[in-house]
Amino acid sequence: MAKIIDGKAIREFNLDKIQEQVEQLKAQGILPTLAVIIVGSDPASRIYVNNKKAACERTGMKSLEFALDEETTTEELLELIDRLNADKSVNGILCQLPVPKHIDKNKVLERILPEKDVDCFHPENVGKLCIGNGGLVPCTPMGMVKMLEYEGVDPTGKHCVIIGRSDIVGKPMAMLMLARNATVTVCHSKTVNLAKITKQADILVAAVGIAKFVKADMVKDGAIVLDVGMDRDENGKLCGDVDYDAVKEKASMITPVPGGVGPMTIAMLMRNTLTAAKIQNDL
């Protein structure tokens, strides 16, 4: 039976440390500030934005919300980003995705200054991540790294297999694991003999977006399994990309859904906002 990696407990551990550093910055007259932009009224996006505001309050940071109408144009959104870029009191800028289809997402993400890009989507930050020179790091992958650290897992020499090659999770997770001396294999929809590869993993990351995709016969005995999925099963119940009940009997450690990787994402957003404030104040 696997040890359950408690994402909520690890989140609180990290938020406590972030709060301590925020208090130190406040003592120097610096208040880390995150500006969140939401366009339209997507219910899931509203929940995410509220959670981010709550995390700012939890850590003592300031949060600013800019709620824009569904009909907002790309140009209007870019004008807002330009104002926030120029505002020295704003350290981090985040545009909640998805945005309405008529908005050019790439233009929006690339308009945010790299030093304020707390989601780490700007090409400059992606490039820095690839060469191991990034202060700001994608939140979900970094959350998994922090989970491994908390559990005392050193990736050095371990085979990390990642299912999924998205720009948000799969690719940056590969970079972070390489930087920590793991041997990394990235699998995807065109991978041949997927189960043969996943069964070699010491650390298996599931980020494919298909409910219960990873079955027990795809997992090596004693593997550490990190489930990034946020899916619904046949009964409409929230689940991950991993067949949790079956896989937990083979793995040595596993993240549940919910309560696993998810809580760490916002904690790392707070970490990035803190880092951005330090960078902008030459600390």
Q: What 3-state class would DSSP assign to 114?
A: helix
Query: Catalytic: 105?
Result: no
Q: Is 202 helix (H, G, I), strand (E, B) or coil?
A: coil
Whether residue 213 contacts residue 242, with contact meaning beta carbons closer than 8 Å, is answered with yes
Active-site option among 6, 21, 96, 231: 96
Give alpha helix (H) positions in the chain: 7-27, 43-59, 74-86, 105-111, 123-130, 139-150, 170-179, 194-198, 244-247, 261-280
Q: Which of 119, 231, 241, 243 is catalytic?
A: 119
Is-catalytic flag, 24?
no
Question: What single letter denotes the amino acid at residue 227?
Answer: D
Distances (CA, A) of 32 to 134, 185, 274: 19, 37, 6
Distance from the Cα of residue 252 to its chain's centroid: 23
* Annotated catalytic residue 171: no
Q: One of 21, 52, 227, 248 is an active-site residue; which one?
A: 52
| Phi/psi of residue 121, nearest 5 degrees | -105, -15
Name the residues annotated as catalytic.
Answer: 52, 96, 119
